Amino acid sequence: MSVRLTAATLAATTALAGAQTAAAEEYIYSSWFGTNHTANVMALGPFFEKLAEATDGEAEWKLVPGAQLASGPGTPEAVGNGLVDGGIAIAPYQPRLMAATNTIFSNSLLGKDTLAAAAAMNEAVLFGCPECREEYRDLNAVGFAGYATTPYVFMCATDVQSVDDLKGLKVRSSGGGVSISEIAGATPVSMSPGEATTALERGTLDCVLGAVSWLKSYGYQDVVETVVDSPMGTGGPPLLMFLNRDIWNGMSPEVRAAHIELAPELVASASYDAQLANDARIVEAAVADGLKITPDSAEFQAIMEEHDRRQRDRVIEEAKAAGVENPEEILDFYLASYDRWKTLLDEEGRDRETFVRLLWDEIYSKVDPEAL
């Protein structure tokens, strides 16, 4: 009797496990960031683990790093076509397909407020840019949860102590960084941050205009001699959650809701953990290996001042040429959001827990997963 009961129980348990396995889905996420990139290790990996736990294994994301499945420029179409289920979409790599999002990306935010920048980017994409959401639909995609790097700086394979030292140098630049490099007298070069590592080694590129975290993420600390400690604007957002729309619609409402509920954690992990809190450690280690830090000065600040005088007209002109109907409204919302978030964070606090709470209260609690 007991043997038959045990067998029956075992059969029922096996059947239940089979039903649960059948209900679970494994989605393929293509990251063109390298395996050890901080966005993969400190943001996406932990996010996918939390998501699997929150959905009792119903949503399992498999992270495939290193552009094995799709390149940076190829990701939006790879996602839309269903080659992969999700990936990282960066608007400047596809400025025609993602023209409205590129309007946000191309406007360099002044100052050093990474957290306010990250919040403003997400608020603008989700609530201040209807054309952004339309272009994601046109690509058969859903987009949310972007992040901000710390302000871009010049990182050079040569000894750069003044603006004059930048003149004539070839600088990897994107978005608003193209104008910044030109104002500095350098020649902007379009390439991915990963490609820039080899270009710096071979001498076909002199500098990268990018985030300090890239010293580690892309191995620049091995080929860069100088970092100019003068903030050259913050741009973004790289969209970490750029998902195939058919896949998104095929998820249960509970799984879609879980993605949104955990989005503040993903934004904080990518912006706070992998960028803001990580920079000092990266710079300290690089300096110990011989990196030179060129201090900020009025002449470097003048580059950003000139860029800011020019950028609005340039961004609007380029956006309209790419087919964006209301770039002025997008920029006005974005900049007002940035100012609002700077004040809000000053009042509420800039620790990680507060940042996550504010992202939820001010942004993601207002997002309807069924309407993305």
- 3, part of any domain: no
- 246, part of any domain: yes
Whole-number Å distance between alpha carbons of 276 and 260: 23
Reduced to 3 states, what is the DSSP secondary structure of residue 94? coil
Domain match, 40 and 100 both = yes
Domain match, 130 and 161 both = no
Which pLDDT score is estimated for 46?
A: 98
DSSP 235-250: ----EEEEEEHHHHHH
Integer angstrom CA distances of residue 158 from 30, 148, 168, 227, 321? 34, 27, 12, 10, 37
Domain match, 135 and 81 both = yes
| Structural domain count of the chain | 2
Integer angstrom CA distances of residue 149 from 11, 85, 133, 204, 288? 52, 25, 23, 25, 23
Domain match, 252 and 295 both = no
Domain match, 273 and 296 both = no
N- to C-terminal Cα distance for the chain?
A: 56
- 144, part of any domain: yes
Which pLDDT score is estimated for 119?
A: 98
Which pLDDT score is estimated for 176?
A: 85
Which pLDDT score is estimated for 6?
A: 35
Which pLDDT score is estimated for 280?
A: 86
- 19, part of any domain: no
The pLDDT tens digits for 186-225 are 999 999 898 999 999 999 999 999 999 999 889 999 999 9
Domain match, 297 and 264 both = no
Q: Domain range for residue 46? A: 27-149+236-286+334-371
Which pLDDT score is estimated for 175?
A: 80
Whole-number Å distance between alpha carbons of 192 and 121: 21
Domain match, 95 and 68 both = yes
Domain match, 211 and 165 both = yes
- 126, part of any domain: yes
Domain match, 161 and 53 both = no
Write out the two tokens for 135: 């272009």
Domain match, 141 and 189 both = no
Which pLDDT score is estimated for 24?
A: 67
Which pLDDT score is estimated for 3?
A: 32
The segments of the chain whose pLDDT lies below 70 read 1-24
Q: Domain holding 196: CATH number?
A: 3.40.190.10
Which pLDDT score is estimated for 240?
A: 98
- 277, part of any domain: yes
Domain match, 186 and 299 both = yes
239-244 and 141-146 beta bridge pairing: antiparallel
- 174, part of any domain: yes
Q: Domain holding 349: CATH number?
A: 3.40.190.170
Domain match, 95 and 137 both = yes
Show the DSSP H helices in 113-213 as ranges.
114-127, 130-138, 177-183, 193-202
Which pLDDT score is estimated for 23?
A: 52
CB 216 within 8 A of CB 196: no
- 312, part of any domain: no
